[in-house]
Structure 1
Amino acid sequence: MKISSFDLNLFVILNAIYTEGSLTKAAEVVGITQPAVSNALSRLREKFNDDLFVRTGSGMVPTQKTENMIQDVQSALTLIQQSVNEPDTFDANSTKRNFKLSLGDVSEGRVLPFIMSEIYKEAPNISVGSYAYPRSDQVHALSTNNLDFVVDPIIPRSDEINSEKVFEDDFVVMHREGHDLSKIKSPSVNDILEQKHLHVSGRKRGLHLIDVELDKIGYRRKVALRCQHFLIAPTIIQSTDLVLMGTRSFAKRNNLPFFEIPIEIPSMEYFLIWHKSDEGDGGHIWMKDLIIRAFKDAQR
């Protein structure tokens, strides 16, 4: 088959069906109707003399023929996208571009003030939106330009995305001024676990990294209050005897007394995540650099 006789847009649709597992979702990603995607799939099947995808109860499942060529197709599409992007045309001072980020509430507190301060000085017409997306939807949102960047401790398992570690912090125990723990020179694990704890999580279930590590050595916290957002945590800690196991930078930013945890617990890492198709885009490069600088500033 000669490439000159092949409509290369069909490869875009092939990749969208493979990524989304659905003709309807593939249509949303590409920006065409679902019948147009069905028609494109029919043309692809005729070209390759293969079904390419089989409809099942869980979606469109690729055949072995598709699996054999999809990596080359995705690599070629990424290279083409990089070639058509024009980084030199981006002018931060004049652009009216809107950047869409997915940040947790703690990351918002760490970096949005810095980001908006720099935008005010360098790019007054740029706007930013911060949105909550479930991890299961992040790759789809990045591929459909509903998001430009995600910041999260977990990197999605996908060949479509790139990532870079932008922040790392260790865990401490926070408490109010005058708390009984402040009277102990070197609080032990038992001293900590005898306290009632505040636990912050937006999830309905699942253990925090701290609890996973404590569980390994047979310890468990007494959680007296579980709340969804860190925004309220400082007020709760300052007005009760509850303690909070969280990051050192959060304690410092909110002027909360804290002490070290006397066992080894892995540090908290955050990664900046973006779609490969955005590589080479001037505005994307500019915003990525700004986010990285914001996290470096937050770590001081």
Structure 2
Amino acid sequence: MKLRNINLNLLVIVDALLDEAHVGRAAGRLGLSQPAVSNALARARVLFGDPLLARAPPNGLRRTPRAEAMREPLRTALAQLAAIVAAGPPNLTDLRGAVRLVAFDVLAAALGAALTVELAKRAPGIDLIFHPWHVGDEVERLERGEVDLVVTVAPASRGLLRTEPLGIYPYTVMMRRDHPAAAAERFDLDCWLAFPHVVVSGHGDRQGSIDAALTRIGRQRRVATVAPTFLHALELLCETDLLAAFPTGVMVGSAAARLTSRPVPIALEPVSLHLVRHSRTDMDTAVMLVAELIRAVGPQLHDQEAS
């Protein structure tokens, strides 16, 4: 028997019938007619495969053994359902638990500080657990239930996933403030390509979408360093003559304060960030709260960077 085939109103009538062991009294208690309650008893007998109430002399009814066994569990279940329906939104200060997130390193660092401050105000019992960022498997880990929220560049709309945009970040060229290119009167393509570059790749790849764009116009750059994370790359930019073309969203944090930027001298598609979660968290107040805070904090980080 599937729950979707069970009428909850029928169970409410059955509860009254089992309690009263009398059709008339059950009808009066529920504000229903006796024929309606009798009809409900007939349907309940089919549902449970048991008479539930049997004739007893002189003109009464008695509960069957099956009815006696299910009487208290049914009452308890209905009471629990009533409590769920009657309960209001949970008090955020009473929430306890943990929310697991995956985001690339710079964003995780920036979000972590902002989210911790906000959670301390609104839901101090909620802990944040940032899981390591592995290139390309974030969504699969979400589907397996290993994490609760993922920030990724690729929207995921399949199955039971919930995806929403967080922001669009154009590319910019980053360098240390006293870099020779920063003093150039004109930062053009030749100036950009005159210096070695650093790229970020979790797999050690030296080529990416920027190199493909350069190839289309018959140019190439020298990738002198491949860093595994943006934080690593930003530190390298602060101490060397390396240049980087990164989405503006990574230019946050202490290292970013020592950097300056210039427009990329070729056309590049901007990067979009998305927040992804699974439908199993639709009723999880803690996860929904953290998702709400990420939506609120994300634009603030972008504004700080732009300023």
Q: TM-score range with shorter-chain normalisation?
A: 0.5 to 0.7
Mapped pair 1:283 → 2:254: no
Partner-residue secondary structure (3-state), 2:187? coil
Q: How many angstroms apart in 1 are the aligned matches of 2:207 and 2:240?
A: 24
Task: Indicate the residue corresponding to 2:79 in structure 1.
Answer: none
Task: Indicate the residue corresponding to 1:259 in structure 2.
Answer: 262
Residue 280 of structure 1: how far off its partner (Å): 3.7
Q: How many angstroms apart in 1 are the aligned matches of 2:276 and 2:98?
A: 17
Residue 210 of structure 1: how far off its partner (Å): 2.4
Mapped pair 1:269 → 2:268: no
Q: How many angstroms apart in 1 are the aligned matches of 2:208 and 2:199?
A: 9
Counterparts in 2 of 1:17-96, with a 5 A limit? 88-96=88-96
Of 277, 291, 301, 1:298 maps to 301
Q: How many angstroms apart in 1 are the aligned matches of 2:135 and 2:104?
A: 12
Task: Indicate the residue corresponding to 2:113 in structure 1.
Answer: 113
Task: Indicate the residue corresponding to 2:214 in structure 1.
Answer: 214
Deviations 1:171-229 (A, max 9, x none): 11112233221232221112211210111221233743323333333332211111111
Q: How many angstroms apart in 1 are the aligned matches of 2:238 and 2:120?
A: 34
Deviations 1:53-75 (A, max 9, x none): xxxxxxxxxxxxxxxxxxxxxxx
How many residue pairs are counted as aligned between the two chains?
Answer: 223
Conserved? CA contact 1:251–1:258, under 8 Å: no
Aligned AA (2:285): G
Cα separation, partners in 2 of 1:260 and 1:125, compared to 1, 3 Å? same
Partner-residue secondary structure (3-state), 2:92? coil
Task: Indicate the residue corresponding to 1:129 in structure 2.
Answer: 129
Conserved? CA contact 2:199–2:206, under 8 Å: no
Partner-residue secondary structure (3-state), 1:175? strand
Deviations 1:140-185 (A, max 9, x none): 4323432111101012462221101112222111122332212322
Q: How many angstroms apart in 2 are the aligned matches of 1:136 and 1:239?
A: 30
Which structure is richer in relative contact order (CA contacts within 8 A, separation 6 or more)? 1
Aligned AA (1:93): T
Q: How many angstroms apart in 2 are the aligned matches of 1:291 and 1:4?
A: 36
Q: How many angstroms apart in 2 are the aligned matches of 1:85 and 1:163?
A: 28
Residue 299 of structure 1: how far off its partner (Å): 1.2
Aligned AA (2:280): S
Task: Indicate the residue corresponding to 2:58 in structure 1.
Answer: none
Residue 102 of structure 1: how far off its partner (Å): 0.8
- What RMSD over aligned residues (CA atoms) do the two structures have, in Å? 2.9
Aligned AA (1:152): T
Greater mean deviation of Cα atoms: 156-165 or 283-292: 156-165
Partner-residue secondary structure (3-state), 1:113? helix
Task: Indicate the residue corresponding to 1:50 in structure 2.
Answer: none
Cα separation, partners in 2 of 1:150 and 1:180, compared to 1, 3 Å? same
Q: TM-score, normalised by structure 1?
A: 0.66
Residue ranges of structure 2 left out of the alignment (5+ in a row): 6-83
Counterparts in 2 of 1:147-226, with a 5 A limit? 147-156=147-156, 158-205=158-205, 207-226=207-226
Q: How many angstroms apart in 2 are the aligned matches of 1:5 and 1:183?
A: 70
Q: TM-score, normalised by structure 2?
A: 0.64
Residue 133 of structure 1: how far off its partner (Å): 5.1
Query: In percent, how many aligned pairs have the same letter?
Result: 21
Aligned AA (2:111): V
Q: How many angstroms apart in 1 are the aligned matches of 2:120 and 2:166?
A: 23
Cα separation, partners in 2 of 1:252 and 1:148, compared to 1, 3 Å? closer
Cα separation, partners in 2 of 1:288 and 1:177, compared to 1, 3 Å? closer
Q: How many angstroms apart in 2 are the aligned matches of 1:263 and 1:131?
A: 35
